[in-house]
Amino acid sequence: MNLDRVRGWVAAAGRVAVLTGAGMSQESGVPTFRDAQTGLWAHFRPEELATEEGFRADPQRVWDWYAQRRAAMAQVAPNAGHVALADYGRRHPGKLTVITQNVDGLHQRAGSAGVLALHGNIFEDRWVEPPRACCSSRPPVEARPPRCAVCGNLRRPAVVWFGEMLPEAALEAAEQAAQACQLMLVVGTSGAVYPAAGLAHVASEAGARVVVLNPHPSDLDSVADEVLRGTAATLLPKLLVD
Ligand code: APR
Mark whether 68 and 129 lie in a shared domain: yes
pLDDT value at residue 69: 87
Q: For a pocket test of ligand 1, which of 26, 47, 160 has the largest count of ligand atoms closer than 8 A to its C-beta?
A: 26
pLDDT value at residue 39: 59
Tell me how far the alpha carbon of residue 232 lies from the centroid of ligand 1, in angstroms.
Answer: 11
Q: Which residues are catalytic?
A: 119
- The enclosing domain of 89 has a CATH number of 3.40.50.1220
Mark whether 232 and 138 lie in a shared domain: no
Would the CB of 108 count as within 6 Å of ligand 1?
Answer: no
Taking the alpha carbons of 197, 201, 204, 208 in that order, is the dihedral positive or negative? Answer: negative
Among the candidates 102, 129, 159, a domain finishes at 159
Would the CB of 189 count as within 6 Å of ligand 1?
Answer: yes
Q: Which amino acid is at 16?
A: V
Mark whether 55 and 104 lie in a shared domain: no
Nearest CA to ligand 1 atom 30: 33
Mark whether 213 and 131 lie in a shared domain: no
Would the CB of 80 count as within 6 Å of ligand 1?
Answer: no
The DSSP letter of residue 130 is P
pLDDT value at residue 36: 58
Mark whether 125 and 155 lie in a shared domain: yes
pLDDT value at residue 145: 98
The DSSP letter of residue 223 is G
Mark whether 86 and 206 lie in a shared domain: yes
- The enclosing domain of 36 has a CATH number of 3.30.1600.10
- For the chain, 242 residues long, the average pLDDT of each consecutive 10-residue run is 93 98 93 59 78 95 93 92 98 98 95 97 95 96 97 97 93 98 96 93 98 96 98 98 90
Mark whether 174 and 221 lie in a shared domain: yes
Pairing of strands 120-127, 155-159: antiparallel
Choose among 95, 69, 86, 96: nearest CA to 24. Answer: 86
Q: Are 113 and 89 in contact (CB under 8 A)?
A: yes
Q: Which amino acid is at 51?
A: T
pLDDT value at residue 239: 97
Tell me how far the alpha carbon of residue 113 lies from the centroid of ligand 1, in angstroms.
Answer: 22
Q: Can you give the residue range of the structural domain that contains 210?
A: 3-29+78-119+166-239
Write the DSSP assignment of 29-77 as a string of letters.
Answer: T---TTTTS-GGGTTS-HHHHSSHHHHHH-HHHHHHHHHHHHHHHHT--
Would the CB of 78 count as within 6 Å of ligand 1?
Answer: no
Among the candidates 138, 159, 180, a domain finishes at 159
Angle in degrees, CA 240, 94, 23, rounded to 5: 45
Q: Are 26 and 231 in contact (CB under 8 A)?
A: yes
pLDDT value at residue 47: 75
Among the candidates 159, 184, 207, a domain finishes at 159
Q: For a pocket test of ligand 1, which of 32, 33, 45, 166 has the largest count of ligand atoms closer than 8 A to its C-beta?
A: 33
pLDDT value at residue 174: 98
Mark whether 83 and 202 lie in a shared domain: yes
Mark whether 129 and 13 lie in a shared domain: no
Cα separation, 225 vs 133, whole angstroms: 52
- For the chain, the domain total comes to 2
Nearest CA to ligand 1 atom 15: 190
Mark whether 96 and 205 lie in a shared domain: yes
Q: Are 200 and 186 in contact (CB under 8 A)?
A: yes
Tell me how far the alpha carbon of residue 37 lies from the centroid of ligand 1, in angstroms.
Answer: 16
Mark whether 90 and 114 lie in a shared domain: yes
Q: For a pocket test of ligand 1, which of 25, 160, 214, 219 has the largest count of ligand atoms closer than 8 A to its C-beta?
A: 214
Mark whether 51 and 150 lie in a shared domain: yes
